[in-house]
A = this chain, B = another copy of it.
């Protein structure tokens, strides 16, 4: 996956401005991975016997999946770049990932899918935070 993200950044016909290309590619990849993992974790939670203990986890997963997907799309566009929108959606994504990681971690010892999902959320939280910092 990273290979294609990187290829698309390298074949972009104009300059990308001051943005750190490596951090950008990592953040796009982390957003896609986190969105998919959260979608799958919400569904795995639905298949657990004690689903009633996991309703907050499912909802947080769904919010995080939607916000990560939107963020991955915004980060994949460079034409007419607007630093404020990028920063705002990265802040929303970072906070959604943190909330979802916090929630999934409370179930990680019981449910392996929550453990894997918490990891994907922490990675994306960090990738968003790093990219925000690099925006200056």
Q: Are B116 and A76 in contact (CB under 8 A)?
A: no
Complex contacts, A65 vs chain B, CB 8 Å: 73
Given A85-B96, A85-B99, A79 contacting B46 (CB threshold 8 A): yes
CA distance A116 to B10 in the complex (A): 11
Q: Is there a chain B Cβ closer than 8 Å to A129's Cβ?
A: no
Task: Classify the interface of chain A: helix, strand, loop or mixed.
Answer: helix
Q: Are A47 and B14 in contact (CB under 8 A)?
A: yes
* Copies of this chain per assembly: 4
Interface members, chain A 84-108 (any B CB < 8 Å): 84-85, 88-89, 91-92, 95-96, 99, 103
Interface members, chain A 13-53 (any B CB < 8 Å): 13-14, 28-29, 32-33, 36-37, 39-44, 46-49, 51-52
Q: Are B74 and A46 in contact (CB under 8 A)?
A: no
**A77 interface neighbour in B43, B95, B111, Cβ under 8 Å:** B43
Would you list 27 pairs from A and B whose C-beta atoms are within 8 A, ordered by A residue? Answer: A1-B32, A7-B116, A8-B36, A8-B113, A11-B111, A11-B113, A12-B44, A12-B113, A13-B111, A43-B77, A46-B58, A52-B52, A55-B79, A57-B80, A59-B77, A62-B62, A63-B74, A63-B77, A65-B73, A67-B70, A67-B85, A69-B69, A80-B103, A84-B95, A88-B91, A88-B96, A91-B92
